Amino acid sequence: MDLPPVPATVTRLITSGRLPPPVAGQFTPAGDLADGADWSSVADAVEEHLADGGADDLRGGLALVGAYGRLDSLDCYADPDDVDEGNDRAVVLLGEAEANGVGEDETAGLWWYSEHLRNLVAELRDENAEMEAYVAEHGATPRGRLNAKLMSAHDLHAAGDRAAALALFREVAEISPWESEFGGCFDLVDVGWCRLLHDAAHVDGPEAARAVWREARAHYRGAKFPVTEHACRLIDMLLGTGVPDILAVIAADRRVTAEQDDPPGGLRVPLGEDEIRTLRLADAEIGG
């Protein structure tokens, strides 16, 4: 959702040299925002000047400047009440602009953005209410619930209760975020599979690890296991366990996301120094 371009009237007025001093001070002579200024401060200056009854001949254009500035400064993910309050102020300024000669061809895009933003905030308010109800029922967010299970599994594994730990890791791993309340928890589901694979490789051997690997690859992400952020960590966990075939696939997938501008499954993520070191170790094991 992008705010429409700055209306032509706004651009002309900013560079005209006719702005009232409190508003003009928000911009450089070239029309850029001055140091320390932002569109919110522009809107504040406009509202203050209009409230004082100034700039009768520029009132429409100045109100449009303020409306654009108010809308540009709003973030739909901020506090919904704050966004609605700012949006209401932008609507007042848009009405003021049209009442003082600004045409609908310049206000229409801002009206649309205002309404679209209001709808998004209403949806966010509903989602927040649903999450509050969810937390009241379950004691934590979906992500918090999975994190708690993973932490318990880590502690059990460290204490030597392997069976209980693996049961919890598998419970997390087999969750399908597409069909449950755990949407957005892909990385935590991924941790479950990584820990199952790590345990199998180190305790039960290469064939057991390959069986878990096939399970993970067949899960909801298919060939996208592991997620990019876990790839080199998983390689570290599997080095020396006799699964160079698995290392080769993970390393190749990681290099794809690092080298392609538009890699399968997401954005390009450059390699860090530690990842480069890990991939070199994997290459040595694969080659050996």
Task: Specify the 3-state DSSP secondary structure of 252.
Answer: helix
| Within-domain flag for 161 | yes
Q: Are residues 258 and 125 in the same domain?
A: no
- Asked if residues 7 and 110 have their Cβ atoms less than 8 Å apart, the reply is yes
- What's the mean pLDDT when you consider all of the chain? 90
pLDDT score of 55 = 60
pLDDT band at 47 (very low <50, low <70, confident <90, very high): very high
* Burial class of 152 by CB neighbour count within 10 A (0 to 12, 13 to 18, 19+): middle
pLDDT score of 263 = 52
Q: Are residues 165 and 95 in the same domain?
A: no
Q: Are residues 130 and 154 in the same domain?
A: no
- Asked if residues 165 and 153 have their Cβ atoms less than 8 Å apart, the reply is yes
Q: Hey, what are 74's tokens?
A: 């709003």
pLDDT score of 192 = 96
pLDDT band at 219 (very low <50, low <70, confident <90, very high): confident
Q: Which of 79, 111, 136 is the last residue of a domain?
A: 136
- Mean pLDDT, residues 93-100 taken together: 95
Q: Which amino acid is at 34?
A: A
| Within-domain flag for 3 | no
| Within-domain flag for 1 | no
Q: Are residues 123 and 29 in the same domain?
A: yes
Asked if the model's pLDDT at residue 283 lies above 60, the reply is: yes
Asked if the model's pLDDT at residue 265 lies above 80, the reply is: no
Positive or negative, the CA dihedral 230, 235, 237, 243 is positive
pLDDT score of 56 = 72
Q: Which of 121, 136, 151 is the last residue of a domain?
A: 136
Query: How many domains does the chain contain in total?
Result: 2
Angle at 193 between CA 192 and CA 196, to 5 degrees: 90
- Mean pLDDT, residues 127-145 taken together: 88
- d(CA 69, CA 86) in angstroms, rounded, equals 10
- d(CA 90, CA 174) in angstroms, rounded, equals 48
